[in-house]
Amino acid sequence: MSPKIHLFLAPGACSLAPHILLQEIGIPFKTTTLRVEKRFPEEYLQLNPKGQVPFLHLDSETITENPAILTAIAQIDPSKHLLGKTDIEKVRCYEWMNWISGKLHGQAFGSLFRPQRYVKDEALYDAVRERSKETIAECYQYIEEKLGERKWAVGDDFTAADAYLFVFYRWGGPTGFSMKERFPNYTRLAEQVVKRGAVSKAAEEEGITLLGNKHIWD
């Protein structure tokens, strides 16, 4: 019997990665769209006290944190190999997901969009944002070099790591980075990702453009 699945997301947010994975699996699921750009809606705090999207209801479980959510979704249909095909590919997938969640999202973009997490004094926000841009550039360069000539981030096929990397590729243009010119390997990966039917479906449902600059909220 299929599990009962309900994803809480915000358009174009990091929740796009689990949304893509659910579409890849192709079993029925429900979504609820929340707006989080200003403040996470208070009435949903009882469902996720962390006050963030994504969170996933999987039968009677509530799951938070992208690497955990992506894992839970991938486990629903192991035949899709969304965490890779071999043990070492799985390890590499976790290596990507943890780094994306902690460094690229939490630290780099987190300090750009929400400098108040890092300093109390509003007068210092711009200085924090400036440093964030440098950290984002360093992260993008790391991705660029780590990808090299590879078609996909892990192994020889699409995995959760690609969906998750794609989210932050989308955020690059609107943040002021010339993604195509500066990061051709990352661009190649993003262009592969957008060709997938599952990705178009997720984007259509969220009302976002895939490589445009609408909706990049953190």
What are the backbone dihedrals phi and psi of residue 63, each rounded to the nearest 5 degrees, phi first?
-115, 130
Q: Which is nearer to ligand GSH, 53 or 147 (CB)?
A: 53
Q: Give least dist CB 54 to ligand GSH, A.
A: 6
Q: How far is the CB of 36 from ligand GSH (least distance, A)?
A: 4
Cα dihedral 64/9/191/112 (nearest 10): -80
Least distance from ligand GSH to the Cβ atom of residue 182, Å: 23
Q: Which is nearer to ligand GSH, 65 or 144 (CB)?
A: 65
- Taking the C-alpha atoms of residue 165 and residue 54, their distance in angstroms, rounded to an integer, is 16
Cβ 129 to ligand GSH, closest distance in Å? Answer: 16
Q: In angstroms, rounded to a whole number, what is the distance separating the alpha carbons of residues 87 and 44?
A: 37
User: Which of 38, 78 has the CB closer to ligand GSH?
Assistant: 38
Query: Which residues contact residue 4 at a Cβ distance below 8 angstroms, ignoring those fewer than 6 apart?
Result: 57, 58, 59
Among 152, 151, 161, 150, residue whose Cα is nearest residue 104: 161
Q: Which is nearer to ligand GSH, 101 or 187 (CB)?
A: 101
**Which CB, 53 or 199, lies closer to ligand GSH?**
53
| One-character DSSP codes across 39-52 | ---GGGTTT-TT--
Minimal distance in Å, beta carbon 53 to ligand GSH? 4
Of 183, 191, 141, the closest CA to residue 162 belongs to 191
Q: How far is the CB of 40 from ligand GSH (least distance, A)?
A: 5
Residue 53 or 136 with smaller CB distance to ligand GSH: 53
Residues that bind ligand GSH (CB under 6 A): 10, 13-14, 36, 40, 51-54, 65-66, 101, 106, 218
Lookup: tokens for 15: 């929740």
